Homo-oligomer: A and B are copies of this chain.
């Protein structure tokens, strides 16, 4: 009984938090309610004066279907709907005109026309460019065309009906556009801009946390490990999975009429390109994360040799990302010199320390070399568990099923005692690779700043 009582409370809390998280949701809901009421009342007025009649319901329908969360989406749907209806009306008139004097029964003509046009238009919806931009418009075209033909069969006054329907849909679209463009508008472009900044900051955190964890104290961190590694991954995965939302937002943003000054070209496609560069950068960071969970353990003493340089380089990479995020937030260019200088010094430091410690790498290899005789008794079909008790990861022990599957590659990798130098050099190499990818990110950010005509960079004028 308590659970039943608590349920509405929980739903209420969820609803409240959803609104607090993004108050525009509340505004959007109120706007939809308002638009519906306006359209309904308009219908009532019109139907009382017998002006538009039964077609009045189309205004309500238009409002429900067209009014979307962002201005761009509303415009896109509204224009698609308007143009689709108009074309369908004209086409229906044309078909009427063609078939007016034929001796065939009208039902046959109608049936065939609907069949052919419906099939052809549906087929056209598979063309990628139409699917992307005009899918909704083609659907409305099919819908309106069939409805007009069917209704005509009885009404025999095509022009009036098409005109009335067009008026009501225009009224509906008008209400939607007014509310979505002029009353507390929500712009897709802004969302895209903000999500790009959030991605940059998420990646910056991710890089630092990853390197921090790699060089952190093994014993102490063991406990927090499970907790933090998921959150590190999440930031990164959010970036990697952002393709679809990015492209949708950019598509809607490209419908939004917001050309400031002489911005001759819409920057939204550049945001998508920037997103691609970020994802490519993110793949390297994901691989870096992979090093955290690798089965080949590098002893802390070897790690400690490169700790400062790697942490330093990661810090610089993260700084570059944060600086890019700040420049975007303030819609200004950034200074390539300042960005690169520290980064390149850090790169050089890492290189110097890698080159000054070759004996560590070769030592650890030679040590392995002497041990190899102990592990050559390994056979792929025997159980590596028995041979590598020390290296056995703890999670493999739980559950009998796990023990009964000794062929897991993880165990084999752990038992093979790969060179200890392998993971640390992979880690360093991936960090260097990440810096190279960062180049591409910076290039696209510069291009974005150019196209979107950001302000010139002046030191110390940021309001963060």
User: A37-B118, A123-B15, A429-B422 known; A150 and B344 CB under 8 Å?
Assistant: no
- Once the chains bind, are A150 and B44 in contact (CB under 8 Å)? yes
User: A40-B146, A126-B18 known; A119 and B29 CB under 8 Å?
Assistant: yes
User: A18-B127, A412-B347 known; A355 and B381 CB under 8 Å?
Assistant: no
User: Could you give, for residues 253-269 of chain A, a 1 whenever the CB lies within 8 Å of some chain B CB and a 0 otherwise?
Assistant: 00000000000000000
A115 / chain B contacts, CB cutoff of 8 Å: 33-34, 36-37
User: A25-B126, A29-B123, A143-B65 known; A290 and B433 CB under 8 Å?
Assistant: yes
User: A139-B65, A150-B60, A422-B429 known; A407 and B344 CB under 8 Å?
Assistant: yes
Smallest CB gap from A418: residue in B: B351
Kindly identify, within residues 114 to 150 of chain A, every residue whose CB is under 8 Å from any CB belonging to chain B: 114-120, 122-123, 126-127, 139, 142-143, 146-147, 149-150
Kindly identify, within residues 18 to 73 of chain A, every residue whose CB is under 8 Å from any CB belonging to chain B: 18-19, 25-26, 28-30, 32-37, 39-41, 43-44, 47, 54, 56-57, 60-61, 64-65
- Once the chains bind, are B111 and A40 in contact (CB under 8 Å)? yes
Say how far A88's CB is from chain B's closest CB, in angstroms. Answer: 11
Kindly identify, within residues 80 to 101 of chain A, every residue whose CB is under 8 Å from any CB belonging to chain B: none
A348 / chain B contacts, CB cutoff of 8 Å: 378, 380, 412, 416
**Which of B34, B119, B296, B432 contacts A296 (CB under 8 A)?**
B432
Pull 28 A–B residue pairs with CB atoms less than 8 Å apart, ordered by A. Answer: A19-B123, A29-B120, A29-B122, A33-B116, A33-B118, A33-B119, A37-B111, A40-B149, A40-B150, A57-B147, A60-B150, A241-B243, A286-B287, A287-B290, A294-B433, A337-B407, A343-B409, A344-B412, A351-B418, A355-B365, A355-B368, A356-B372, A361-B365, A409-B436, A410-B436, A413-B435, A422-B425, A425-B425
Q: Top 5 nearest A-B pairs by Cβ distance?
A: A362-B362, A33-B119, A426-B429, A287-B287, A358-B365
Q: Beyond the given A355-B372, A418-B432, please list 17 additional residue pairs across the A-B interface where CB-CB is below 8 A.
A: A26-B123, A33-B114, A33-B116, A37-B112, A37-B114, A40-B149, A41-B107, A54-B54, A56-B150, A240-B279, A241-B243, A337-B381, A348-B378, A354-B419, A358-B419, A410-B439, A425-B426
Measuring CB to CB, which residues of chain A are less than 8 angstroms from any residue of chain B? Answer: 14-15, 18-19, 25-26, 28-30, 32-37, 39-41, 43-44, 47, 54, 56-57, 60-61, 64-65, 107, 110-112, 114-120, 122-123, 126-127, 139, 142-143, 146-147, 149-151, 153-154, 240-241, 243-244, 279-280, 283-284, 286-287, 290-291, 294-296, 336-337, 340-345, 347-348, 351-352, 354-356, 358-359, 361-362, 365-366, 368-369, 372, 376, 378, 380-381, 405, 407-410, 412-413, 416-419, 421-423, 425-426, 428-430, 432-433, 435-439
